[in-house]
Structure 1
Amino acid sequence: MPIYSNIKTKITIPSEIQALIDRLNQELAQIEREATEGLNLARPILSRFPDNVILIGSFATLNNALFFVDNSRRRIQITVESISPENVPASVIQEAGEDLAELQGRIMEAKIRVSRIVNRLENLP
């Protein structure tokens, strides 16, 4: 069975949950890259227009996205640790899978928000 790469000891995780964790980590990495790119685009524009409420809101949303990425990674880690011990009841594993699936929805929403902001920033004159 797959091993979660951030854990030092060998831990077996059901393959379906491992696949979901891998997808979530990929999506989080993409959000992090795009949010960082967006912040780099927004900074010089904000310095020229410091009172622009829309730019300030976009900048805040991108910073929040990075905070969300960090929190989501911690949440994934906690979930992995909860299903890592031997003889974990199936109900705990099922609940972990449901929690990760719910997190996947939130990650997709964040990804869409960040992409929209970055697209707007890239298309500014």
Structure 2
Amino acid sequence: MPIYNKIKANMAIPSEVQALIDRLNQELAQIEREASEASNIVRSLLLRFSDNVTLIGLFATLSNALLFVENSRRRIQTTVESISPENVRSQVIQEAGEDLAELLGRVLETKMLVNTVITRLDNLR
């Protein structure tokens, strides 16, 4: 669940940064949902094939993706708190936007990785 779906109206966060935050939250929610579902599938397969190195690797990848989601949400929260005060300098907001844009790139990479794991799982069935 996204930490910051909408920022309080009295906080001076530019609309571009807010849009980036919203996109990040949306992508993170999708990763979390898909990685959790895939993780449950792998977990059930591991009960039958506990020594399968491929399944163990897939489970580790999905667990890392879920940890990445948690860490990213904390990073977003910290960034939002740093730019929320009324008298924050424009340079701080710009740097925050750049950090969030970089995070979006990493989020999209993680999303592709989770999709690759899901495809491999589908091929195993």
Give yes or no for TM over 0.5.
yes
- Stretches of structure 1 lacking an aligned partner (at least 5 in a row): none
Whole-angstrom distance in 1 between the partners of 2:75 and 2:47: 35
Structure 1 stretches of 4+ with a deviation exceeding 3 A read 4-10
Report the CA distance shift for 1:33/1:16 in structure 2 as closer, same or farther (over 3 A).
same
Alignment of 1:12-91 (within 5 A): 12-91=12-91
The one-letter code matched in structure 1 to 2:111 is K
Aligned residue number for residue 118 of structure 2: 118
Overall identity of the aligned pairs, in %: 69
Q: How many residues align?
A: 122
Local SS of the residue matching 1:46: helix
Change (3 A) 1:23 1:93: same
* Unmatched runs of 5 consecutive residues or more in structure 2: none
CA distance in 2, matches of 1:44, 1:96: 41
Distance 1:7 1:17, change over 3 A: closer
Report matched runs for 1:95-106 at 5 Å: 95-106=95-106
Q: Distance in 2 between matches of 1:66 and 1:50?
A: 21
Q: Report Cα offsets for 1:18-49 as digits up to 9, x if no partner.
A: 00000000000000001001111101211111
